[in-house]
Structure 1
Amino acid sequence: MNIRKLACASALAFAVIQAPALAASGDVPAQQVNEALRAKLPENIRAAGKMVSVNNGSFPPYEIVTDTNAMTGASADLSEAIGQILGIKIEHASVSGLSALLSGIKSGRYQFAMGPVGDFKSRQEANDFVDYVREYVVFAVQKGNPKGINSLDEACGNRIAVMSGGSAERVIKAQAEKCAAEGKPALEVQSFTDQPTSILAVRSKRSDAFFSSQAPLTYFVQQAGGELELAAVGKANGFQDLYQGAVVSKGSPLGEVLLGAIKELVANGTYDVIMKKWGLQNNMISDPGINLASQ
């Protein structure tokens, strides 16, 4: 079995084991159709009765993709609730890498990505972000943190795994240049297409750390049987306020529609139920919005 298949199998196995416990922690209330929001959908979507949300592989606990391309996780629950509010079905499709996800939305092949995807000013040039969570970026390291990676500066001299095309990759590549400029040991950037493959690289000791969003890293650390822990928690690590959300093409009317649906879920308590169900209460924001990023 190759490393990608092994990583996905590991993630799926954990998802199956954990699903009953997670489900027991909070049932998601059914939603009523909001006719005013439904009327704002583009006519072709209303006629089709569906739209497609694209993902770039498992991003637990938000997106957990099965081998049949079914979806579970917090984003899947939010998508289902949004679909009920809009009176349509939301289907899911997977691509390889963030670049393919963003280009697929830009081309119109997919209507949106539930994500969440990191919102940055540079990305806002081609996309709009419907931000519904706040995230932090930290390291997942081997138990005991043998390399002593407690900050971004201490990543020098280590092999750091990141997801290809993501904001963490941009920051860690800049740090690699800084390490070189300061004459410190070289930082080796190891880019992977998905979260499970990245975390497996750390577990197999081919990488010294995985630099990524705290929420999914917490999830993976919990499944690692004591092999891993988080490091550099509570530090900026190259980021300021990091908002994440659903993604639509620039100027798409779907942005305001999705925002309206998410705000309804906040107001009626469903957002709270879903986020707590998946252990994401520390990532909640009280006032979702479009393009909240200031950097």
Structure 2
Amino acid sequence: MTKHLCKLAVLIAACFSVAGFAADSVTVPAQNVDPALRAMLPADIQKSGSLISVNNGSFPPYEIATSTNSLEGASADLANAMGELLGVTIHHASVSGLSGLLSGVNSGRYQLGFGPIGDYPDRQAKNTFIDFVQEFVVFAVHAGNPEKINGLEDTCGKRIAVMAGGSAEQVIRTQSARCTEAGKPAVHVQSFVDQPTSILAVRSNRSDAFFSSQAPLIYFVSKTNGQLELAGVGKKNGFHDIFQGAVVPKDSPLSKVVLAAFQTLFDNGTYAIIMKKWGLENNMIKAPGINLAKEATQ
């Protein structure tokens, strides 16, 4: 991420303060180093005592950038707990856009993307996902839903904001083609690099809706003083079951150790404590898994 974009991401994130959303009174239990887990790490990581996790800098309440190289949120708490288990420090780096994140992981510049990042079969060709949450995709719209956007079928001719390079962008572009095939106006797809910018586009009436993951939308909508609301809740909206997780290069040895570390955090209750702290209890799954996604988007 360029210096200008880093400053912009931090500035925008500051507009959506964590205060009042996170349960500040919740204490996340400290983890003891697990020698067996640490021994599973590649030798170079054991020697350096650190690894780098890349993020978009904007995926509340999972990832909330507090500077260009530090995070708050559920993923930050989980990464910290995992680092304690493994006896390493997990450093955070921000890039612009999902494509930059995935290419950075696959080039070896970063060891992993903690995410959670959408797990889809087409992405599994180059990546391994260690899934730890389930997600849903809905719309953030103006209060009262004046454009009556209650599902994909209502987006023809509308200005729909999406995250550039994400699965929601693929779905909305497919829907746009369906609109024109049916003789209706195409969807005006507006691609943005992060969540806050997309939300601001709706709030400033440059977009009719933001089509994105439900968990961060709940967070952002709660910060708009009643300006926005959710729509399309409870519908598939072009998706099958959506699993999200950390991502490493395909067949990376890190996948097994990250999975094992997640399983420990699930088993000892830390996962549930962190997810509930950030209001994400409805996104919890029973156990982490590798490449849980079996179906592509519709």
TM interval, shorter chain, is: over 0.9
C-alpha contact 2:10 2:68 (8 A) present in aligned 1? no
SS at match of 1:111: coil
Give the partner amino acid of 2:86: L
SS at match of 2:128: strand
C-alpha contact 2:55 2:92 (8 A) present in aligned 1? yes
Indicate the RMSD between aligned Cα atoms, in angstroms.
1.6
Distance (Å, rounded) in 2 between the aligned partners of 1:153 and 1:237: 9
Distance (Å, rounded) in 1 between the aligned partners of 2:69 and 2:110: 15
Deviation at 1:10, TM superposition (A): 4.2
SS at match of 1:18: coil
Aligned residue runs from structure 1 range 12-23, under 5 A: 12-18=14-20, 21-23=22-24
Give the partner amino acid of 2:188: E
SS at match of 2:197: helix
Which has the larger displacement, 57-66 or 274-283?
A: 57-66
Aligned residue runs from structure 1 range 244-283, under 5 A: 244-283=244-283
Deviation at 1:6, TM superposition (A): 6.7
Give the partner amino acid of 2:264: E
Give the partner amino acid of 2:94: S
Look up the match of 2:55.
55
Look up the match of 1:44.
44
Where in structure 1 are there 5+ consecutive unaligned residues?
none
Look up the match of 1:184.
184
Deviation at 1:69, TM superposition (A): 2.6
Give the partner amino acid of 2:215: A
SS at match of 1:17: coil
Distance (Å, rounded) in 2 between the aligned partners of 1:274 and 1:173: 35
Pick the structure with more helix per residue: 1
Deviation at 1:287, TM superposition (A): 1.3
Give the partner amino acid of 1:17: A
Look up the match of 1:70.
70
Aligned residue runs from structure 1 range 1-295, under 5 A: 8-18=10-20, 21-24=22-25, 26-295=26-295
TM-score, normalization by structure 1: 0.96
Tell me the matched-pair count: 292
Give the partner amino acid of 1:223: K
SS at match of 2:16: helix
C-alpha contact 1:118 1:244 (8 A) present in aligned 2? yes
Q: Give deviations 1:128-184, integer Å, cap 9, x for gaps.
A: 000000000000000000000001110111000000000000000100111111111
Distance (Å, rounded) in 2 between the aligned partners of 1:282 and 1:16: 19
Distance (Å, rounded) in 1 between the aligned partners of 2:225 and 2:12: 12
C-alpha contact 1:4 1:197 (8 A) present in aligned 2? no
SS at match of 2:240: coil
Where in structure 2 are there 5+ consecutive unaligned residues?
none
In the superposition, relative to structure 1, how do residues 7 and 249 fare at CA in structure 2: closer, same or farther (>3 Å)? Answer: closer
C-alpha contact 1:132 1:288 (8 A) present in aligned 2? yes
Distance (Å, rounded) in 2 between the aligned partners of 1:6 and 1:88: 30
Distance (Å, rounded) in 1 between the aligned partners of 2:9 and 2:47: 39
- Structure 1 residue ranges (4+ consecutive) displaced by more than 6 angstroms after TM superposition: 2-7
Identity %: 62
In the superposition, relative to structure 1, how do residues 69 and 14 fare at CA in structure 2: closer, same or farther (>3 Å)? Answer: same
Q: Give deviations 1:178-221, integer Å, cap 9, x for gaps.
A: 11111112210000000000000000000000000000000000
C-alpha contact 2:119 2:242 (8 A) present in aligned 1? yes
Deviation at 1:43, TM superposition (A): 0.4
Distance (Å, rounded) in 2 between the aligned partners of 1:47 and 1:4: 30
C-alpha contact 2:49 2:88 (8 A) present in aligned 1? yes
